[in-house]
Amino acid sequence: MLHLRLIVPGDLRRAVLDALDDCIGVAHVITLPGTARRPPGDVVLCDVARESADELLGRLRELGLAEQGAIDVSLLELSISAAAREAEREAPGTRSDALVWESVTKVTHEESAFSYTYLAFIVTATMLAACGVVLDSSVLIVGAMVVGPEFGPLAGFCVALVQRRSHPALRSLTALLGGFALAIALTILFARMMDAFGLFTEAEFDGPRPNTSFIFQPDALSLVVAFLGGVAGLLSLTSAKSGALVGVAISVTTVPAAANVAVALAYGDFGQARGSSVQLLLNMSGIVIAGVLTLLVQQSAWRQLRERRHAARRQRGA
């Protein structure tokens, strides 16, 4: 379950308490009148099943509580309570499948920041992948794919498209394209430096590379893999199974494709650069298409599930 701490101004007290009473899956409601100082108001504590959290948070936002008071949400690791079990039983769906838009938006917003840390990760990952493509090392390629932070902006772009929010979409797109542009430019310089020291050679890059040649040879399977990776990635962000993101990172060759573009340009191999660019665009396009479709399906499914549960509740009340 999730634990909510609300700061409620006096003029919203009745509306907020009614919203908590009306929401399926709410338990342990506690009111502390007049205890909040800044902003002034009541402190209201409650627990809500993850399956009902999105509906409740949306209702509290509609009441203006986010602007006039405060809504704090934290994960409740353990609750030993018959009331909590009943709340989770009544809530629609299952906890691991629940879609909480506020949480998804917050995570993707943070992961889409065009920050020094994000740039350091994407540049480092691309340079690591450059070593992998020259040495034809699948181990280095996998390592670079895990390090790469590009799924955050891709997911943020998907969320912004579904929510029809132009500013977060532009923010995510800037982080994604700007990050790859900088990473490719610096990796070109890195490849030339490595060549000058004799650590990279054009013969190695142009020679047979059975482990990494797929990076610059895109085909229909590349789009299929990217699509499936996008589905898995968005599901991992919206559900309680975030560990699946590591598998998604290893599945989709965005960073290795960018690295191959950089090394190919460093050696003037425009054929490989073109093939890797197509691979990169296919992967990003597949992830975005899959991500948007996944979110739309989840959104529709949860809306219908909530409506059926509310209808059943009204029938029992009648």
**Is the separation of the CB atoms in 159 and 295 below 8 Å?**
yes
Segments of the chain scoring below 70 in pLDDT = 96-97, 240-251, 310, 312-314, 316-318
151-160 pLDDT, tens per residue?
999 999 999 9
| Closest residue by Cα to residue 196 from 266, 265, 271, 270 | 266
Q: Would you state the pLDDT for residue 233?
A: 86
Q: Would you state the pLDDT for residue 250?
A: 63
Q: Which domains does the chain have, with CATH numbers?
A: 2-91 (3.30.70), 102-302 (1.20.1080)
Q: Would you state the pLDDT for residue 237?
A: 82
Q: Would you state the pLDDT for residue 82?
A: 93
Spatial separation of the C-alpha atoms in residues 284 and 248, rounded to whole Å: 13
Q: Would you state the pLDDT for residue 289?
A: 95
